[in-house]
A and B are shown apart, each in its own frame.
Chain A
């Protein structure tokens, strides 16, 4: 089977203006959502308590709300269904420092008389641990971006590195916007998903860049646009196919992976789609706009080759005892 067989190169760069508008709109609306609706930090980062309760019958959410009014500890607690009607999650801002009787135990007591239930999960994150996790989370994102930037600059050229980082920021922004839009809780697993998107989206970008690098070396006309079009066309099948297989598994994770893994799978789902798009329509045009010059690159390459050759000649001379 063959889905991508093109005799002529597709004109991706010709559509890059259109893509630019789409990207800018998406990123801007993401920032607007982030600014107005904001991210919903979960207990991992904001601190607080989550209690997951499973009933033998449908969860009596109204009765539970009534019961939880008994204690100031539960002020502002929210009760929501979790995956099915018999399972709910209670989220609250309060935490407790006692080891023997914690807020989970208090909740268990308070829920007495609401039916037959089992407390399946209690997460308590104190404010200090929460802010530490947040700090670490931001640090890890920045460090990962920095590490990647250095690697790409080292392997390619600085414009490639900057272009790939712009694409990454683009992907992460849109993913965050989507998370804020749906109102997902941002926890450690979402952070892990964001870091995976970083690696994944970059993976796509690099495959395209690698082709561009190869094309540039063979390029005799000095026209970068054609080379980019050719490279993107040639890698299009791979980019789409790999995204497809990854989407298959992420989709099954999203559908069948259970409620706990839901936010993680959702973030990945958005990230993979956006990441695939950005490696074709965002990263490559930036190379063009940054004025990557094919001829200068050739000169650089030939200088490098000359230096290597000089070194080799010296080495040969040295070994044959001329010097």
Chain B
């Protein structure tokens, strides 16, 4: 007897299918499993945009802050320090300092310096603006990822999608509160600024408009605890959260949660310098544009640590500390797309699609046996093997099973028997022409081959396009359909042919066309 390679490959495929689908079917601890899509297990999918123009703005703002700090340190007198969207300008009062300030400005990357008499302006180059925008996006991705990693959900997905979108996927969110917390954590700017209170004019703050304040180089900020209370602070901050190294939750003397933060060496130096010469004045601790506290400076504060107090719950304080530690978002983010599915809906979808799968499967199995008898049984074996292989391949690649993906599997059940229908019909035809069963099987397979190949390849073309252009859950459909088509070529063509070869001696002896192929001889 010659070696039946077809049945050998088929047997291997079945073993492969069963072995690798066990972890997914039995949900074992070990082994690679198919993961359920957000639409089946519930979860949150968001596409976020980044307001990149805000990033250039804040870049300019911190540039202004560093010019101010530098000039104060070197006792250089400057005046009318102003900034707009892309440039900073100021007046140099003593031209002797020009060289020093020029050296400092030349060290700023991606900016062009324009001298116009005593006025000096520094503007960002278009390349630098683009770079800043790109950085804002990648920094936002990094920051959101850091925050979510510390949030405690299993395997959050944070990825860039297209040029400027950020994809965030959180599986296993169970409650509305949890989703709300996650969303707040993601979108929180967490921008910490230490700002000087304008002691000279603060008494008049309630009679001032925002434009008035701006004219003085000041800005009016609300108090975090009581929005009625206003603070007047210098617009250019002393330092910002970029110099923060750590933030953690602590408790104050009244045992209320507070956030302790530490600054890096540079920040500590600036902080020390400022507090040293501002004794008696007030320092505002500003988070996301709101003043959390404005304590009096009693002495020079070295060491660079501080505290933010507010009416927090412990959980809020923890989330805020996470946000501060992961860094501020350079630019605010906004929602472009959101899909949120509750776990109960996911469970319903799983149940409904399983019923459809089992129902369709049983119908097809019964039909094939009734219509083709033994040939139908053989086709059904191939079909079952096909389902295992789909599951196994998806598990191995760690693919995600979505609701459309389930629909794809259901559809595959209907379409996978197609190859066997084509083959069986060919064989029947040849038997009707009076050919022997052995010859009919061999010729049936070779005649049907070309048609099956062409038909499957065209379906595959549609599936591949769907995969390339589809988004989210739809990709899952393209995946299951494609694997199903490829697996059906293996099981329905090779597998069933192998089975016929194996049964060849029996088939030749019996000559019972009704039993084997469901037709009267």
Contact = CB atoms under 8 A, between A and B. Distances in A.
Interface of A is mostly: helix
B314 interface: no
A2 B355 contact: no
Interface string B473-507: 11001100100000000000000000000000000
A144 interface: yes
Contacts of A122: 338-340
Nearest to B360: A249
Contacts of B353: 253, 257-258, 261
Interface stretch (B209-217, B270-278, B363-371): B363-371
Contacts of A98: 187, 334-335
A129 B337 contact: yes
Nearest to A235: B425
B518 A2 contact: yes
B462 A199 contact: yes
Interface in B151-188: 176, 180, 183-184, 186-187
Contacts of A195: 462-463, 465-466
Contact of B338 (A104, A128, A151): A104
B477 A192 contact: yes
Contacts, number: 242
Pick from B46, B335, B341, B344 the residue with the most CB of A within 10 Å: B335
Interface stretch (B4-12, B96-104, B409-417): B409-417
B24 interface: no
B341 A120 contact: yes
Contacts of A137: 469
Interface residues on A, range: 35 or more
A200 B415 contact: yes
Contact of A198 (B462, B470, B478): B462
Contact of A245 (B335, B417, B473, B474): B417
A229 interface: no
B345 A253 contact: no
A99 B186 contact: yes
Interface stretch (B85-93, B105-113, B129-137, B452-460): B452-460
A152 B454 CA distance: 8
Interface in B317-360: 333-342, 344-345, 348-349, 352-353, 355-356, 359-360
B120 interface: no
Interface residues of B, number: 83
A125 interface: yes
Interface of B is mostly: helix
B407 A253 contact: yes
Given A189-B474, A195-B465, A261-B352, A202 B458 contact: yes
A310 interface: no
A268 to B, nearest CB: 7
A-B pairs with the 4 shortest C-beta distances? A249-B360, A258-B352, A246-B414, A199-B459
Given A198-B462, A242-B418, A250-B360, 14 more contacts: A98-B187, A99-B48, A123-B338, A124-B335, A129-B47, A129-B337, A143-B465, A147-B462, A151-B461, A206-B458, A244-B367, A252-B410, A253-B410, A261-B407
Interface of A: 1-2, 5, 52, 54, 96-100, 102, 104-105, 108, 118-126, 128-129, 133, 136-137, 139-140, 143-144, 147-148, 151-152, 155, 188-189, 191-192, 195-196, 198-200, 202-204, 206-207, 210-211, 214, 234-235, 237-238, 241-242, 244-253, 255-258, 260-261, 264-265, 268
28 contacts: A1-B371, A98-B187, A99-B334, A124-B335, A126-B335, A129-B47, A137-B469, A140-B468, A143-B469, A144-B461, A144-B466, A147-B461, A147-B465, A188-B470, A188-B471, A195-B463, A196-B481, A199-B461, A200-B415, A204-B455, A207-B422, A210-B450, A241-B425, A245-B363, A249-B363, A249-B410, A252-B410, A264-B404
